[in-house]
Amino acid sequence: MAKNQDGYLSAKESRRISKENRRITDQYEKRRKRRNVPESEYTTQMKDPANAVEFDNLHTYFFTDTGVVKSVDGV
């Protein structure tokens, strides 16, 4: 932190944070843009092959004028 200014970043700290964020973003974008990704990386086996669809840890929220309604939370 900058001297005697809690809550503020020095230019050096700001550059360090920006550099680290850029490095992380570059890694993410490189991984996202890959070609010929093996199918096993994004598919899984059904727990019961007779099922048409399976969901694990499903969360669904509806945003209304009065607030957020959690219709399904972790089913």
For residue 18, pLDDT over 90 is answered with yes
For residue 1, pLDDT over 70 is answered with no
State the Cα–Cα distance between residues 65 and 53, nearest whole angstrom.
Answer: 32
pLDDT of residue 15: 96
Question: For the chain, what is the mean pLDDT?
Answer: 88
Domain residue spans of the chain = 11-73
The pTM for the full model equals 0.45
List, in sequence order, every residue forming a beta bridge with 69; answer none if it has no partner: 62
Matching residue, tokens 């209304």: 64
Are 41 and 34 in contact, with CB atoms under 8 Å apart?
Answer: no
For residue 4, pLDDT over 70 is answered with no
